[in-house]
C-alpha cells in the first residue's frame, strides 16, 4: 500500500512510498482510510520542530471504513464507518488508561514517544491503518468522512473546553489564533453557551482564515494588526477583561498577551504547541491577578464521544473549514498550502 513516510530531517525527508500493508492483530481492525487531515503539529514536524521515528508513516487524524477484523474483535465488523483514538500499545492498567486518558499513558512499551501512532508507529496518511478495537468509535450516519476525520482535533478541544475547564453560559471567550484549532475552539465555545466569542488573526490570515471565521458567523473576528484587541475586549466586558482566553496560536507574543486580555481570576486555556520550547512569562502579574493557566494535551474516551456528538447534533459546522482535498501524492502541496495560509483544513483522500 502507499503511505507518506518521514525518513529523515528536512523538507526532502518525506516520500510517498510503497509500505507493507500490515495484518491486523487479533484485537485490531484494519481501516481503509477515506479522509485524513493534516494537523498543526505535523506542520511543526515538516519544519523539524517535532519528534518522530524515521521511517514512520505519519498522520493521526483520519476516518474510514473497516476493511478487515482480527479474530478477537467483537463489537465492530467489516464495512463499519469509524474513527479511532490514536493510541496503540498503551498499558491499559495505569491511572491514565483506566480513566480514559490513554494518550497520557506513562507505561507505553518502549517509552512515551516510541508508540505514538503517526509519529513513531505507522499512522493514517496511507491507504490503510491497523488500530485496536478499544479505541474505535462509529461515525454518526449524518456525518461525512471529511468531517469525521476532524474528530481528533475536536476531541482535544472538547476535553479542554467541555470537560477539563468547561466554558459556561454567558462567558466572554477570546480565542487567540484562527487555524483549525482556534476556529474549532470558537465554535465549541459557542456551542457551550459562551456569550461573546472573539477570535483573532493577523494580516496573513485575512484572505482565507478570517474570512471563514466571518462566514461561520463568529461574532467578533479581529485582525490584531488592524484593530486594538485589548481595547475591544475591555469595551466588550465593561473594562473587566475576558472570562476565558484560549491560546491556540502558539505565538510566544500571543501567549504573553493572554494575560492582558483575561479578567482577574479568569482562565487561560493553552491548547497546542509553540514552535519554541520556552516562552518568557510574566509570572508575578499572573499571580497578582490570580489567573488560572491550564495546559491541555491529547484527549479522552469521553471527549472523543463528545466530539462525534457535537458533529451529529450539528452543534458545530466543520465543512467550511475544509479548503483543500488532495491525493496522497500531493502531500508537499498540502504543507505549502498551510505554510502560506491559503489552506485551513487540508485533507488527504487516498482514493484520489
List interacting residues with Zn ion (CB under 5 A).
39, 90-91, 94, 97, 105, 107
Sign of CA dihedral 321, 326, 331, 333: negative
Closer to Zn ion by Cβ: residue 148 or 222: 148
Please tell me whether residue 322 adopts helix, strand or coil conformation.
strand
180-191 and 151-158 are packed helices; what angle lies between their axes, rounded to 10 degrees? 60
Q: Which three cell numbers stand for residue 312?
A: 451529529
Beta carbon of residue 28, minimum distance to Zn ion (angstroms, whole number): 18
- How far, in whole angstroms, is CA 184 from its chain's centroid? 9
Closer to Zn ion by Cβ: residue 41 or 172: 41
Q: Which three cell numbers stand for residue 251?
A: 505565538
Beta carbon of residue 331, minimum distance to Zn ion (angstroms, whole number): 16
Q: Tell me what percent of the chain is helix, strand and coil, each rounded to the nearest 5.
A: 30, 25, 40
Measured distance CA(62)–CA(352) in Å, rounded: 15
Beta carbon of residue 286, minimum distance to Zn ion (angstroms, whole number): 28
Closer to Zn ion by Cβ: residue 160 or 259: 160
Closer to Zn ion by Cβ: residue 29 or 150: 150
Closer to Zn ion by Cβ: residue 237 or 249: 249
| Contact status, residue 86 vs residue 123, Cβ threshold 8 Å | yes
Beta carbon of residue 94, minimum distance to Zn ion (angstroms, whole number): 3
Strand partners, 32: 65, 128
Closer to Zn ion by Cβ: residue 107 or 274: 107
Strand partners, 16: 4
Beta carbon of residue 92, minimum distance to Zn ion (angstroms, whole number): 6
Closer to Zn ion by Cβ: residue 105 or 197: 105
Beta carbon of residue 269, minimum distance to Zn ion (angstroms, whole number): 17
Beta carbon of residue 249, minimum distance to Zn ion (angstroms, whole number): 16
On the CB side of 132, CA atoms within 13 Å amount to 13
Run of H or E residues at 197: strand 196-201
Beta carbon of residue 73, minimum distance to Zn ion (angstroms, whole number): 21
Residues ≥6 apart with Cβ < 8 Å to 76: 29, 66, 69, 82, 133, 136, 138
Please tell me whether residue 24 adopts helix, strand or coil conformation.
coil
Closer to Zn ion by Cβ: residue 83 or 105: 105
Closer to Zn ion by Cβ: residue 65 or 91: 91
Beta carbon of residue 181, minimum distance to Zn ion (angstroms, whole number): 8
Q: Which value, in Å, is the radius of gyration of the alpha carbons in the chain?
A: 20
Q: DSSP of 157-184, one letter per residue?
A: HHIIIIIIS---TT-EEEEE--SHHHHH
For cell 483506566, what's the residue? Answer: 98
Amino acid at each position: 500500500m502507499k503511505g507518506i513516510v518521514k525518513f529523515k530531517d528536512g523538507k526532502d525527508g518525506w516520500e510517498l512510498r510503497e509500505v507493507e500493508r500490515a495484518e491486523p492483530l487479533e484485537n485490531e481492525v484494519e481501516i481503509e482510510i477515506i479522509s485524513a487531515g493534516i494537523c498543526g503539529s505535523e506542520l511543526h514536524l515538516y519544519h523539524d520542530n517535532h519528534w518522530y521515528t524515521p521511517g514512520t508513516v505519519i498522520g493521526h487524524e483520519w476516518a474510514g471504513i473497516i476493511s478487515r477484523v482480527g479474530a478477537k474483535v467483537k463489537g465492530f465488523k467489516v464495512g463499519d464507518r469509524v474513527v479511532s483514538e490514536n493510541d496503540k500499545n498503551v498499558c491499559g492498567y495505569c491511572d491514565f488508561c483506566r480513566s480514559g486518558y490513554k494518550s497520557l499513558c506513562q507505561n507505553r512499551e518502549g517509552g512515551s514517544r516510541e508508540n505514538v501512532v503517526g509519529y513513531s508507529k505507522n499512522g493514517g496518511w496511507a491507504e490503510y491503518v491497523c488500530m485496536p478495537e478499544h479505541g474505535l468509535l462509529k461515525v454518526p450516519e449524518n456525518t461525512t468522512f471529511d468531517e469525521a476525520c476532524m474528530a481528533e482535533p475536536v476531541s482535544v478541544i472538547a476535553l479542554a473546553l467541555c470537560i477539563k475547564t468547561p466554558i459556561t453560559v454567558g462567558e466572554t471567550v477570546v480565542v487567540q489564533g484562527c487555524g483549525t484549532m482556534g476556529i474549532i475552539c470558537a465554535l465549541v465555545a459557542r456551542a457551550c453557551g459562551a456569550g461573546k466569542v472573539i477570535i483573532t488573526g493577523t494580516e496573513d490570515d485575512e484572505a482565507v482564515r478570517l474570512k471563514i471565521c466571518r462566514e461561520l458567523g463568529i461574532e467578533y473576528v479581529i485582525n490584531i494588526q488592524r484593530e486594538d484587541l485589548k481595547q475591544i475586549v475591555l469595551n466588550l466586558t465593561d473594562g473587566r477583561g475576558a472570562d476565558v482566553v484560549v491560546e491556540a496560536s502558539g505565538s510566544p507574543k500571543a501567549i504573553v498577551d493572554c494575560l492582558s486580555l483575561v479578567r482577574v481570576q479568569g482562565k487561560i486555556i493553552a491548547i497546542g504547541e509553540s514552535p519554541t520550547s520556552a516562552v518568557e512569562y510574566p509570572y508575578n502579574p499572573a499571580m497578582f491577578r490570580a489567573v488560572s493557566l491550564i495546559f491541555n494535551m491529547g484527549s479522552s474516551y469521553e471527549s472523543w464521544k463528545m466530539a462525534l456528538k457535537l458533529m451529529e447534533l450539528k452543534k458545530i459546522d466543520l465543512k467550511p473549514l475544509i479548503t483543500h482535498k488532495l491525493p496522497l501524492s500531493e502531500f508537499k502541496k498540502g504543507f505549502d498550502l498551510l505554510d502560506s495560509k491559503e489552506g485551513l483544513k487540508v485533507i488527504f483522500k487516498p482514493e484520489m
